[in-house]
Amino acid sequence: MLGVIDLPTYLAGLILIVLLPGPNSLYVLSVAARRGVRAGYTAAAGVWCGDTVLMTLSAAGVASLLQGNALLFGIVKYAGAGYLTWLAVGMLRAAWGMWRARREQSAAAGTDAVPADPAAADERPFRRALVISLFNPKAILFFVAFFVQFVDPGYGYPALSFVVLGAFAQLASALYLSALIVGGTRLAAAFRRRRRLAAGATSAAGALFLGFAVKLSLAAA
């Protein structure tokens, strides 16, 4: 079909890949839990745009250049790891602020409600999600290694084959991120009632982002 080989196998592999947790999906879930559906979809749009750019670069052969150039790969790799670390530090600082505010306000008013996060107003979910997606060299290399296997080299319009594969990938991502956003908004209600839960979840998200940063920094071309 339009130069695509073994579409059922591609779809099965795609579902498994999309369901694997990563910094993109975790960030979308975090935004939805903290700021609601609209902000969650804003972050998801950043992920989809970033993935589209990576797919386009992969189809154009840029990822192969990245794979063959150790210096270029290292620059992108460490830039991405640095950005993830910066996000993780911000999350951990926010969690620490929640813990401190909880102790102070609980002692004063006997409440456990979650205070407003002043940093949330300055957050740009679309931009952050886009950068997280783009600074992921392993994702670029994956798109090449995975997509190429399902493109018929004898087909006259290979770009069309990549478009078909990319459309299925974006559809799977849209369904998965939508499920995370719905789940995140349900978490938000609990976060508003319980500051301890909100602080703990934010701490866990920060720790996971640090883990993603370490994993990315150790990645090999």
**Confidence band, pLDDT 50/70/90 cuts, at residue 170:** very high
Q: What is the pLDDT of residue 111?
A: 47
- The answer to whether 147 touches 7, Cβ cutoff 8 Å, is no
pTM over 0.85: no
Residue-wise pLDDT for 23-80, tens only, equals 888 889 888 888 888 999 999 999 999 989 888 877 776 655 655 667 766 776 677 6
Q: What is the C-alpha to C-alpha distance for residues 37 and 39, in angstroms, rounded to an integer?
A: 6
Q: What is the pLDDT of residue 121?
A: 54
Q: CA 210, 215, 217 angle in degrees (round to 5)?
A: 95
Structure tokens at 126: 């679309």
Give 136 or 174, the one with higher predicted confidence. 174
Q: CA 12, 13, 18 angle in degrees (round to 5)?
A: 105
Kindly give, in sequence order, each residue whose CB lies less than 8 Å from that of residue 56, ignoring residues fewer than 6 positions away.
Answer: none
Length in residues, the chain:
221
Q: What is the C-alpha to C-alpha distance for residues 220 and 81, in angstroms, rounded to an integer?
A: 13
Give 214 or 179, the one with higher predicted confidence. 179
Q: What is the C-alpha to C-alpha distance for residues 105 and 112, in angstroms, rounded to an integer?
A: 8
Q: What is the pLDDT of residue 114?
A: 45
